[in-house]
Structure 1
């Protein structure tokens, strides 16, 4: 219960901060989002471009855990994972509030789960993230700080990145247990390194074993 209350307070606090205390919206925010989405990046700070696109990688990282975790939950994971592409942690926190700890996976992996469970998916996401980060490091940090201080969109998106980094360990222990993987160094490496920690985890984690995904005889009847 304390875990759920903590996530609930964090969710309400993030919403309150984003809409009341964060810097105000700028007149060009919608145009900026449109240009970032359409790949019309001329004149946009590479740091902003990289951050915006990395925020599209984060929901895929979470999906690689959420869809498996959601199989044994009373709530569906896909609405929260899908909404995360638009609003990030705003959508994922309600799932964390509503879910219950679960360290088992029962059933067959469908094509989507096989894709999300694959180490190849983790490798592809890691390469994409590395390219984006390398591109972003060419940007103007002074300009980015100035935008962070004056633009609600840039400000909240940056905080969303940090929050997604902090929240991932809340799902990590159960995911490792489902795989029978007891590895404290990997847990802490994943938890303490933003973005690339979870990506390394997706590259290294063993796939769900056959013993974990086979239907029990009672459920086959």
Structure 2
């Protein structure tokens, strides 16, 4: 119950800050979002471009855990995972507040879950993120970014959204490792605390999800003589 209350309060606090205390909207915000979304990046600080695209990677990272975790929840994970592509932590936090601890995976993986569960997905996301981070760090203008963070609600809230998504990912790792029957979870759990790349490393090295179906159980059982 404490966990549910904590995530609920964090969600409400984040919403309140974003719409009440964050810097005001700028007249060119919609144009900026349109240009970022369509790849028209001329004249846009590479740090903003990198951050915007990383905020598109994060929902995939969370989906790789949420859709599996949601198999055993009363609430469908897609109701929160899909909106997270647009609003980030504003959609993930309610799921964390409403979900129950779930250390089992009932049934079998379909093609979509196999794709999300694949280590190749984690590796591909990691390589793409390395390119984005390198582009932002090497070509970006930090002075301009700080100025935009101080004056633009969109840049300000997007940056905080990034921080929140980094912070709350480890709360899903414990149950995910339990579903995979990881024997020594300490290292993977600690890895998940590394901002951004910890979650990517986790997806790249976690063992495959164990299916729990009648067919799978019967195959594992020894044949009686």
TM-score interval, normalised by the smaller of the two chains: over 0.9
Residue equivalent to 2:189: 187
Structure 2 residue 140 is matched with structure 1 residue 146: no
Q: For residues 111-139 of structure 1, what are the alpha-carbon distances to aligned partners after superposition, in whole Å with 9 as ceiling and x for unaligned?
A: 10000000000010001100000000120
How far, CA to CA, are the matches of 2:113 and 2:86 in structure 1?
Answer: 22
Does the 8 A contact of 1:106 with 1:215 survive in 2? no
1:8-23 correspondence to structure 2 within 5 Å: 8-23=8-23
How far, CA to CA, are the matches of 1:127 and 1:215 in structure 2?
Answer: 37
User: What TM-score comes out, normalization by structure 1 length?
Assistant: 0.95
> How many residues align structurally?
215
How far, CA to CA, are the matches of 2:65 and 2:198 in structure 1?
Answer: 14
How far, CA to CA, are the matches of 1:127 and 1:189 in structure 2?
Answer: 17
Residue equivalent to 1:197: 198
Q: CA RMSD in A?
A: 1.3
Shift of 1:214: 2.1
Shift of 1:79: 1.5
Structure 2 residue 128 is matched with structure 1 residue 128: yes
Residue equivalent to 1:215: 214
Q: For residues 6-53 of structure 1, what are the alpha-carbon distances to aligned partners after superposition, in whole Å with 9 as ceiling and x for unaligned?
A: 001000000000000000000000000000000000000000000000
Gaps of 5+ in 1: none
Which has the larger Rg?
2
Shift of 1:216: 7.1
1:46-195 correspondence to structure 2 within 5 Å: 46-137=46-137, 138-181=139-182, 182-191=184-193, 193-195=194-196
User: What TM-score comes out, normalization by structure 2 length?
Assistant: 0.93
Q: For residues 132-180 of structure 1, what are the alpha-carbon distances to aligned partners after superposition, in whole Å with 9 as ceiling and x for unaligned?
A: 0000012000000000000000000000000000110110100011001
Shift of 1:183: 2.1
Residue equivalent to 1:36: 36
